[in-house]
Structures are given as C-alpha cells and as structure tokens.
Amino acid sequence: MLSAADNELLTRTNPGTPMGEYLRRFWQPVALAEELPHPDCDPVRVAIMGEDLLAFRDSTGQVGLVSPRCPHRGADLYYGRNEDAGLRCAYHGWKFDVHGKCLETPTIDSNAAYRAKVCLKSYPTREWGDFVWAWLGPTGAEPALPKLEFALFGAEHRVVQKKLQQCNWAQAVEGGLDTAHFSFLHMPAPSVPLGQTAGTITQANADQQRLAWMRNDPMPRFTIREHDAGFVAGAARQTDGPSLYWRISQFMQPNHSLAPNALKGETYQGQTWVPIDDHSCWVYCYAWNPERALTRAEREKISAGHGVFAALGPRYVPLRNRANDYLIDRGEQRHATFTGVKGVAEQDAMIQDSQGLIADRTQEHLGPTDVAVVRFRRQVLGGAKALQQGQAPRAAGQDEAYRLRGGSAVFDAAAPFEAVMEGRFGDVAGRVR
C-alpha cells in the first residue's frame, strides 16, 4: 500500500512533476525506426509524458524531435512539407531543421539573429535497436544509451514491436514484474489437463512441465538482489522432483524489464514502458536470440502475438483492447483458458487496465509475492525524491550495467540464489560478459 501522496508522485509524469523529471533523466524510446522509413518521409506525431512533439527524418536521414507548433502563427507542422533537409510550415513557408533551427522565413526579411529567436524546441535523438530514442532531460547532459542486450546484435537476431496500453505506466511496469500471476492468469482452465503423456508431469514436454510447475505451486518464494541498473528478482517454485523451477526477471531503471520465461538457448524477451500521458503508455517490446539469427517462422510467430508481444491492428493498437473487452470469450473461460482472452500480452493488458486508468494503491493489501512490485516503487520513488534534492540518478550513467538477461532455470533446491544466477548466467546479477 502507498500513501495518496506517493501514489500521486509515482503516476504523474507531465513536465515539472517529480516523476516526469526523473524519467526525463534517462533516454526514452519515442518511435519505431519503421515509422520513419526513409528520408523526407511523412512526419510522425509523438506524445510522451504529457508533451506533444513531432518526429521527422530529413533529406540526409537524420531524425529530429521538435515542437509541432510553428513559432510564427502556431500552425501544426505535422501538415508541413518535409523537404530539402528541413520541415517547412504549410502556412507561410517557414522552415526548420532537425535541431529546431529556423532556416528560412520567406514572409519576413529576417537575418540570422532574428531566425535564432524563433527556433523550435528540440530534443536529441539516437537510432538504436530499431527504435528512435530521445533525450528529454537537461540540454547537453545526455549520458550514453543504455546497452540493453537486444540492441547489441544485428537486426536478424531480434524482433521489436510497439503497442498501446490504456493505463498508467507504473501499473503496467508492475504487471510485468509480478511473476506470481502466471499460476492463474495465463493458465488453461482448471479442468483442462496439461497434455501429459502417461499421466505424469515428468513425461510432458518442457512447456507442459513449466505450466504444471506454475499451476501446482501458486506461491513462489522470491529473492531480490539490487544491482547498478535496478534489481534482479528470482521466483522459485517446486518441481515434481527435488529441484526448484526459477523464473528470474530483471528491472532496469526507470522503466525497462526482462521477462523470466527463457531457458538457456531460448529467445529472450523484454519491455520498456513509456508514458504517453497519465492514463496511457506505449509498450516497446523486444525479443532476441544472442546465439543465432531468428528464423522467418519465429519472427512471424512473435510479431503475430507471442509472449510479451500482442496481435496488433492499425496504429499499433492491440486487436484485443479495452474498447472491445479484449474479445473475452466466456465459453472459452469456462472450458479452455483461465481468462477466456487470447494472448499472454492481452491477458496482462486486460488485468492491468482493469485496475483503472490510475490504480489506487492506497486500497491495496500486499503479500509476500508482491516484493518485486514493492522494490520497483521504492527505487523509482526514491530516485524521484532524490532528484528533487539535486541528486541525479546514478543508474542513468551506468550504460554497461544494462547489459543483462532474465530467464528460467531448474536447480537443486539446496542451491542459493547466487549459485542459481552463476549457473544460469555466469554472473550473480545476470550481467552479460
């Protein structure tokens, strides 16, 4: 449970708010590179943390992120012409480059000094990992981009996606960190067997095994260890033998997480939640395999809705969403799946959105399986409050600390968490060497 004041601090991200300023001390994805496919392509509206901006790719291929309002008469530059290394207002032809510099004022006999006064607000951008990232913090203070592993390989190793979520950013992050819910939300209906052969779990395939372990042990035991980027959380469940099944997730400041599903050799997945406003956010999803290129069939499966990825309609809106009640099928809920909603990502969104546009955390009753959620709140609230006192977030300057993995493993029940991490990742924090 949080106080009303802390819940307000956690969830409000407009310019000038403590959490908004904290998030702005980190690089944030603002678009997919595919949204700006070639030089002089159509500009793209960007809404982030209560700011309305405009992204465009100029004739040289550079991406700009600028205020959408022409400083002459306030016309929307979205309707402008992207041409000759600049964005030209359709109203009177004033032209601006990717840095917001005014290049031409055809209706005014101006000089360079005047044009310098009518520049657009702009933010630095970088393209990396098939995302366009932006720095919305203090001018000239931008750190190196966080070295999230998915972006360290060629494009053939990864799939990326952007999807709309219709709730506050913080409860979406919390949903990603709450791994205990898998014992219910993502399960077949209680009456449905898990496809065991010969009636034994141990003879089932790996996926069936993992489902059985999660279904049969709904109270995982959590261990949390902090590191330079955030924290790693391990959730241990009993297998059908003497071993424990560990699901290990990563949280990296301020809004990244890595899913706990992948066994060694499988494809990893992660998410970054970026507020649009206080009632919605973009979820940037990434799947990658560090050992090999993804096959065409794998890429198509992931993109169509697998794991943290959702099946999408136009404008990156999931096909199953709040407006259509996630296409819940009550017959399927009774006889096939626990929720009656197709897709792990859609099931997550349904529950997270159902908490309200902004969850009221003053009414919660938390338990031992909520420790990762509590730790997330503690870290970001502590960071935002420290920034108010003039202390910049240390994690923002630790780009190498983001080179992490999450995943699954089966280990002897006597093995401590540190030994599990060493055995699974070769490092107690899950760092990639």
**pLDDT tens figures, 368-386:** 999 999 999 999 999 999 9
List helix spans (H) across 237-325. Answer: 296-303
268 close to 406: Cβ distance less than 8 angstroms:
yes
Compute φ and ψ for 253, nearest 5 degrees: -55, 145
Enumerate domains of the chain plus CATH numbers: 32-134 (2.102.10.10), 149-425 (3.90.380.10)
Q: What is the C-alpha separation between 203 and 209, in angstroms, rounded?
A: 8
Q: What is the pLDDT of residue 200?
A: 44
Confidence of residue 201 (pLDDT cuts 50, 70, 90): very low
Q: What is the C-alpha separation between 428 and 321, in angstroms, rounded?
A: 38
Q: Give the mean pLDDT of 144-155.
A: 98
Q: What is the pLDDT of residue 205?
A: 60
Strands 407-412 and 243-252: antiparallel
61 close to 39: Cβ distance less than 8 angstroms:
yes
Confidence of residue 193 (pLDDT cuts 50, 70, 90): confident
Q: What is the pLDDT of residue 197?
A: 40
Residues of the chain above pLDDT 90, percent:
94
Q: What is the C-alpha separation between 285 and 307, in angstroms, rounded?
A: 10
**pLDDT tens figures, 204-234:** 466 889 999 999 999 999 999 999 999 999 9
**pLDDT tens figures, 403-421:** 999 999 999 999 999 999 9
Residue, of 433 and 258, whose pLDDT is higher: 258
Q: Give the mean pLDDT of 284-291.
A: 98
Q: Given the structure tokens 């009632």, which residue do they identify?
A: 279
Its sign, for the CA torsion 371, 372, 373, 374, is positive
Q: What is the pLDDT of residue 206?
A: 63
List helix spans (H) across 135-279. Answer: 169-177, 206-216
Q: Give the mean pLDDT of 143-166.
A: 98
Q: What is the pLDDT of residue 365?
A: 97
- Give pTM, 2 decimals: 0.96
Answer yes or no: is pLDDT of 427 > 90: yes
Q: What is the pLDDT of residue 108?
A: 93
Mean pLDDT of the chain, nearest integer:
96
Q: What is the C-alpha separation between 320 and 67, in angstroms, rounded?
A: 32
Answer yes or no: is pLDDT of 273 > 50: yes
Here the tokens at position 385 are 């409050």
